[in-house]
Copies of this chain bind each other. A is one copy, B any other.
C-alpha cells in the first residue's frame, strides 16, 4: 500500500520508535514519578528526556515548561480554556481545526468573544487583518502553523511580532509542522505551542504536549495524583505537575523520544526538503491531469506537504474510496475536522481528497499516485 495520510498520523514510524516502545514496555515500564525504585526512576527519566528534547527542538524556556499531554487536542484545550477568562477576546483564523474552534465555541457560551479572521481562498492570512481586530479586551491570538486541509503556512513569526507589540499571548497549533519546519518559541514570540507526537514528530499515538512561556499560569484541565506534594488535597503549583495528573503514557513517550532523536539525526531541513520535493513533483504532475482541481497556494515555499484536490464534481469520499480499493493508496477525504477552512477554500459540500507526505514516501510512489488519479479522472 501507498500511505499518503501522514497529516492524520505518520505511518510507518522509524524502526527506532517501535523498538523504544517495546523496550520500555518489556524492560522498565514502572510508574514514573510514583516510586523511588530503580524502574520507576528509569521511567521518570524518559519523561525528562522527552521534555529536554522538545524544549530544545522548539527553543522553549525550559524542559519543565513542556507539558506532556495525550494529544494536541488536550494541549489546545488546556491552553485555550486554561488561559481565557470571561470578558476576554480572542482572535483566530478561518483555517483552524475543530480542536481550536470547538473549544472556542463552548467558551462563547461562557462570555468569551471570538473573532475569526477570514483567510483568502488559498488559506492565506493577512497580518493586517488580524491587527485590525485587536481591541482592549483582546488577550489571545490563536493560529495554526499550517492548515491541515491545504497545507498553507501561516506567517507565525509576523503574527508573533504583532502579538508582542500589543502585549498579547500567542498560541500556535503546530500539529502539522513540528518536526518538519523550524519552530523557535523565543524568536517567533510564541507564548504557547501545542503539538502532537504522532504526526511529523514520528512518535506513537497517545502523545503530544504544550510548551508554555515561563511565568504563564493556566487553570488546569484536570487535577489528581501527581506523585508530588501528596500530602495536599490541592493540585501542586510546580511545573509541570500542575498540569499533568495521573499516569503518563510512558511507552508512548519513550517512542516520542526516539521519534525526535530520529528527526535530529536526519535534520529538520533535510526532512523538509524531501517532503517539499515530493509535494512539488506531485503538484507539477497534477497540473497535467484534466478535471483535477488543486486547492491552496500551490507554491512550495508557502505550503506544508499536504495537498487537497477534487476531481470534477465527484464526491471526495468516492475518489478516496477508489484510490484505496482499486489502487491501494490511503488518503483522507471529507472535511478533515476543519469546516471553516473548507468554507474558506470553497469545499464545504464536496470536501477534498487529501494527500500528505512523510519522510518515508518516495517519488516513485508519487508517480504511481499520479497515474491512479489520471486513470480515475479519465474514467469518471
Contact = CB atoms under 8 A, between A and B. Distances in A.
Given A22-B18, A25-B18, A77 B224 contact: yes
Contacts of A29: 9, 11, 13, 204-205
Contacts of A348: 231
A72 B245 CA distance: 10
Sorting the interface of chain A by its residue count into under 10, 10 to 19, 20 to 34 or 35 or more gives: 35 or more
A226 B334 CA distance: 13
How many chain copies? 2
Interface stretch (A97-105, A210-218, A278-286): A97-105
A230 B331 CA distance: 17
Q: Chain A contact residues: over half helix, strand or loop, or mixed?
A: loop
Interface in A1-28: 1, 3, 5, 8-9, 11-13, 17-18, 21-22, 25-26
A121 to B, nearest CB: 19
Contacts of A30: 3, 5, 8-9, 11, 330
A48 B245 CA distance: 26
14 contacts: A3-B39, A8-B31, A13-B25, A36-B332, A70-B74, A73-B245, A77-B223, A99-B225, A99-B246, A102-B245, A105-B233, A205-B248, A221-B221, A227-B337
Q: 6 closest Cβ contacts across the A-B interface? A: A206-B249, A73-B246, A225-B337, A102-B223, A99-B224, A73-B224
Given A233-B340, A246-B71, A332-B34, A222 B224 contact: no
A103 to B, nearest CB: 5
Contacts of A339: 230-233
Contacts of A102: 223-225, 233-235, 245
Interface stretch (A159-167, A299-307, A316-324, A362-370): A316-324
Given A9-B247, A11-B39, 4 more contacts: A11-B30, A35-B332, A70-B246, A102-B245
Contacts of A38: 1, 324, 330
